[in-house]
Structure 1
Amino acid sequence: MDASLAPDERVLDIWQLKCWMEQEEETEGVKELYEGKPLHATPPYPINDAINSKICLWSGDISLLKVGALVHCTNEAFSDNLQATQRLYSRAGPELRKNLLDNIKSCNTGEVEVSSGYNLSARYVIHAVPPLHTTRFHTAAQSSLYYCYRRVLESCQERCIASLALPVLSSPHYPYPTEDGAHIALRTLRWFLSNSSGSRTLKRVVLVLDTDHIATYTALLPLYFPRTLRHLQAAVHNLPCDLGNACGEPVNPERQIRIIDNPQHSLPEGGDVGAGGGTVETTINMGEHAFSRMEEDVDRQRLLGGQPAYVADPATAALTTDMQKIQRYERLLRRSKTEDLREISGIGCLYQCGHDKLGRPIIVFIGKWFKYNEINLDKAMLYLIQILEPVSRSDYIIIYFHTLTSTDNHPALHWIRQVYDVLDYKFKKHLKAFHIVHPTLWTKIMTWWFTTFMAPQIKHKVFSITGIEYLYETIDPDQLEVPAYITEHDMTVNGVRYYKGCS
């Protein structure tokens, strides 16, 4: 143990941590999860005490763990300046960074590189590069993230590493959606530990979580690593229908090709390849490269003399995507009802107050109180769903006060898009007006960009107004609760004249 470390920075042997089998059961994450139709006929993952004894949940500084290998989440050039990275470099000594820059030099997205742990208490450091997530390239990022987790585990197997500290693999600038990423991580880990060779090599895996991910992993871990019959029942109702292939790899219909035996033979009469008694069709998932794009049944298209189709089955693919979105929203809705969201509700930046003159509920969002870089964004999304769900069954309006906000209050555009994509269709359908009060030039540009290129369906519902007085055309003053600082700023800028016309 390094005596130079502070008392709260002592090296921790991972074998002193309680495993998943020994930890107390968290009932909050799995209660009220049996509503609706079961998604699986039988539990996808059976109870396995041997596997459960290998899993640990822990929150803390990963560089302080005494472990066979720890995973360092980084970028392709090893140039990120995150605090976790700087702590790792500091405790490992200059040799680690020198080795990365002079010898390894780079690592492709979805790949890993392994180095010595140097002065760390870990024998190896596995440097992993997760994908940058954007909605447009979600499928590619999904496949790349799977292979990133898989290659971390395979690296342990290749080097006979018995213990692993595994953080959440996600880019800090374009993070992968928390719940979707957790499903991929846990599904891949379950597959690997269920494999005979993987199970024989790896004896302990510590999932190192920060505050943004603890609640999600605590809720999902019993579904992939059940300990009781109650967990099995929860898994039947809550695990997604699509759990990937036998290896846990995400399967996308657009990335499948069909192979017929002996394509040199002519087609049977009628042109039906599958009708011939001597033909065999096999479906192969092509996911080895995260950004590959395959065509369906190219051989058949060529035999017919036509051009190969670039989409396997657009209707099926669209239906699958819609089902996945519905299932994802339902999971988030259940979480919004069961998780403790007081840290978000206590901020007071989002609330419902009164109705407009047409009887529509009013949702108020105070931009100045929304500290984008400080709050738990995963819980913020859950709280948004909790507030909007009751009013979204009929028409409603939203008022966003941009008054006196700073850059700390401005959410990233990719997070706004993520929230917009997660929300169910009914939210967009019943939203009748989105008022932005006291907009700045930045707000107007971002609003125009978002509603033009990302959400044109609601562009006609968004209105920028310079003062509270314009709200009183459709809302009675006693129906609108506004913080005092907003009213004072409005009177400073616009005067008090609007009070006269609203009595």
Structure 2
Amino acid sequence: MMEEDGSQDPLGARDHVVYVDNMTRWNFTVLPLASDDDSQNHSESEEKVSPFPWRNDLNNKIILWSGDITELSVHAIVHSTNERMTERSSVTETLYTKAGPKLEAEIKNNIKVCKTGDAKISEGFDLLSRYVIHTVGPRYNVKYVTAAEGALFCSYRNVLQLVRENSIRTLGLCCVHSGKRGYPPKEGAHIAIRTVRRFLEKYGSDVDAIIFVCDDGTYNVYEEVLPLYFPRNPQEEQESLAHLPEDIGDDMGEPVIPERQIRIMDKPIYPKSDDRDFDDKTVDLNAEFGKSINGTVGQHPFASMQADPDTQKRLNPRSDVDMKKVEARKRYERLLKRARTEDLTDIASLRCLYRTGQDRFGRPVIVFVGRNFPASTVDLEKALLYAIRLLDPIVEQDYVVVYFHTHTSGQNLPPMNFLKNVYHILDHKYKKNLKSFYVVHPTWWSKFATWFFTTFTASDIKQKVHSLKGVQYLYAKINPDQLDIPSFVLDYDIKENGPRYCVPFEEGTVEEL
């Protein structure tokens, strides 16, 4: 359905060409409401006004599609790369192959670099598209979320700005927020779609179609987020209100960072002589500046502006710390909401993380089985959501974790960056109420990794981590009937330590081996 005879392609004959006219527009992806009467009755009962109202004209310019972006017969496509334009991915390789050597030469000799959040345009050369817009998305770090959000918005905004400047009517827009740079797909989709929505509200007449080009990993995310910003009927518009994030950006779609906004008092203090006609007066800035020199600057309304945020931070550094805590809490609450609603049965079926009984002090015990965790293939984001769903009701009180490192290989170990992100994402109560973290059957490498992580990232739990060379060392703290231990762990323990071995414990202490 997507492909046509190459003879119809004005840019030349191609084996695989996808034409915009043959693609399904967003407004045709669902049936309209049953009747006008139903719509009228529904609108009468509405109490809230959506910041993204139903606009059929805008929906008609949106296409959601999964495929090879180089097969699109459009005016321009977007290429996500790195700052030195040396990105090596399957998409980039395909792009360079089809564009021919002239594109690489153009980048090497003329474009050279592209800063994070910036966008640069080149010819498409042998591609179907006339232009290629190159942009660099940010690397995601939970410590600098606002910076990443701002940079990602800039990428999309600058791409769309080039669209206007070069009279581009049809655009293939890839996911700039790539998983390779650690950006959460859903959070990135919100910024991408919201920015396009605001752009079309202002400059929709300049564009015929914007195609969100996804792959198998991002298509479902975009399909879920798109109705929030491009509702397809009044009913969907109202249903979307409950799912919109707290930060819906400004009138351009840019994320709102409260501490960077200019703060002006609601009611400036006017000089009495100017009360009646200040709005109608032409202000003589030279005269007003003269007043400030004479010590009367406090009489002018501009003097009612509060101190700039950077100065306030220097004077009151505590406020910046409090703001970061608030942001971290909001971020965790968003993850918790997702954890409670998303289908995580595939993660639960792995039996890598589960709750068992209680230790001798009545504290709940969480078991993590390293061998059962396919870190190289599992969806790490869903694994984090499952952990939050399981642990959140437990960590309100003291708890302990038992990690079986038995038969664990490199395929079972998540990236260190992921562990760092998880540590910073989790609410403070996780670290505060964790009383002991037992590592059973550690290897030399696991001991080193644990020491490195608890020394440079998680120093506040360093004293809570204990390495145990055998299962029986757990029994001094946790009764055997309170532990659900996989059979392969017990078999390995017997093979390594024998059926019975002495455990030299003193009451209330754990020997680190």
Range of TM-score over shorter length: 0.7 to 0.9
Q: Say if 1:151 and 1:354 are closer, same or farther in 2 by CA, change over 3 A.
A: same
TM-superposed CA distance for 1:264, in Å, is 6.7
1:396 touches 1:430 (CA, 8 Å); kept in 2? yes
Task: Report what 1:469 is aligned to.
Answer: 472
Contact preservation (8 Å) 2:178, 2:185? no
1:304 is aligned to none
The answer to whether 1:422 aligns with 2:432 is no
2:302 to 279, 283, 293: 279
Q: Could you tell me which residue of structure 1 aligns to residue 34 of structure 2?
A: none
Equivalent of 2:308, from 296, 318, 329? 296
Partners of 1:319 and 1:187 in 2: CA distance = 28
Aligned to 2:250, which of 232, 239, 245? 245
How much does 1:330 deviate? 3.0
SS of structure 1 residue aligned to 2:51? coil
Question: What pairs with 1:358-377 in structure 2 (closer than 5 Å)?
Answer: 358-377=361-380
Q: Report the CA distance shift for 1:488/1:56 in structure 2 as closer, same or farther (over 3 A).
A: farther
Deviation for aligned residue 1:70: 1.7
Matches within 5 A, 1:108-119: 108-119=115-126
Indicate how the Cα distance of structure 1 residues 268 and 76 shifts in structure 2: closer, same or farther if over 3 A, else same: same
Q: Does residue 201 in structure 1 map to residue 228 in structure 2?
A: no
* Alpha-carbon offset, residue 86 of structure 1: 1.8
Structure 2 CA distance for aligned equivalents of residues 246 and 314 of structure 1: 30
- Structure 2 CA distance for aligned equivalents of residues 466 and 265 of structure 1: 79
Larger Rg: 2
Rounded to whole Å, the distance in 2 between the matches of 1:179 and 1:461 is 34
Structure 1 Cα separation of the partners of residues 344 and 23 of structure 2: 28
**Greater mean alpha carbon deviation, residues 349-358 or residues 148-157:** 349-358
Whole-Å Cα distance in 2 between the matches of residues 409 and 120 of structure 1?
41
**Whole-Å separation in 1 of the counterparts to 2:294 and 2:342:** 59
Please tell me whether the aligned partners of residues 253 and 317 of structure 1 are also in contact (alpha carbons under 8 angstroms). Answer: no
Counterpart of 2:97 in structure 1 is: 90
Q: Does 1:332 align with 2:335?
A: yes
- CA-to-aligned-CA distance 1:395-450 (integer Å, 9 cap, x gap): 33222222333333322222222222332333333333222223334433333333
Relative contact order: is structure 1 or structure 2 higher (C-alpha 8 Å, sep ≥ 6)?
1
* SS class of match (1:391): coil
Change (3 A) 1:92 1:427: same
* Alpha-carbon shift at residue 281 of structure 1 (Å): 5.4
For residue 451 of structure 1, give the secondary structure of its aligned residue in structure 2: helix
For residues 466 and 89 of structure 2, the distance between their equivalents in structure 1, rounded to whole angstroms, comes to 38
Q: Which runs of 5+ in 2 are unaligned?
A: 7-14, 32-46, 269-284, 506-513
CA distance in structure 2 between the aligned counterparts of 1:400 and 1:263, rounded to whole angstroms: 69
- The residue aligned with 1:13 is 19
Contact preservation (8 Å) 1:296, 1:311: no
CA distance in 1, matches of 2:139, 2:170: 28
- Deviation of 1:175 after TM superposition, in Å, equals 1.6
Query: Could you tell me which of 454, 459, 471 is aligned with 1:456?
Result: 459
Q: Distance in 2 between matches of 1:265 and 1:315?
A: 36
Deviation at 1:142, TM superposition (A): 2.3
Q: Aligned in 2, Cα 1:278/1:353: closer, same or farther, shift over 3 Å?
A: closer
Measured after TM superposition, the shift of residue 192 of structure 1 is 0.8
Distance 1:188 1:483, change over 3 A: same
Is 1:379 aligned to 2:385, yes or no? no
- The equivalent position to 1:187 in structure 2, one of 181, 187, 194, is 194
What's the secondary structure of 1:365's corresponding residue? strand
Structure-2 residue corresponding to 1:225: 230
Q: 1:392 to 1:201 in 2, by over 3 A?
A: same
Quote the Cα distance in structure 2 between the aligned partners of 1:313 and 1:45.
37
Counterparts of 2:289 and 2:472, CA distance in 1:
73
TM-score of the pair, normalised by structure 2: 0.78
Q: TM-score, normalised by structure 1?
A: 0.79
Instruction: Provide Cα deviations, 1:206-251, integer angstroms capped at 9, x if missing partner.
Output: 2223344344433332222223445444444343333333322234
Structure 1 portions without partners, runs of 5+: 4-8, 26-39, 284-294, 299-307
Write the distance in 2 (CA, Å) between the matches of 1:123 and 1:92. Answer: 10
Contact 2:399 2:433 in 1 (8 A): yes
Mapped to 2, the partners of 1:171 and 1:20 lie a distance apart of 23
Determine if contact 1:402/1:436 at 8 Å carries over to the other structure: yes
* 8 A Cα contact 2:175 2:214, kept in partner: yes
Q: Say which of 436, 440, 444 aligns to 2:447.
A: 444
CA contact (8 A) 2:103 2:125 kept: yes
Provide the secondary structure at the position in 1 that maps to 2:142: coil
SS at match of 2:26: coil
Q: Output the amino acid matched with 2:113.
A: S
Question: Is contact 2:364-2:398 (8 Å) kept?
Answer: yes
Q: 1:23 to 1:144 in 2, by over 3 A?
A: same
Once the two structures are TM-superposed, the CA of residue 151 in structure 1 deviates from its matched residue by 0.7
Cα 1:52–1:332 shift into 2, 3 Å: farther
Aligned length: 458
How far the C-alpha of 1:148 sits from its partner, in A, is 0.7
Instruction: Tell me the percent identity.
Output: 40
Structure-2 change in CA distance of 1:103 and 1:21 (3 Å): same
For the structure 1 residues 366 and 84, does the alpha-carbon distance in structure 2 shift closer, same or farther, using more than 3 Å as the test?
farther
The letter for the 2-side match of 1:210 is: D
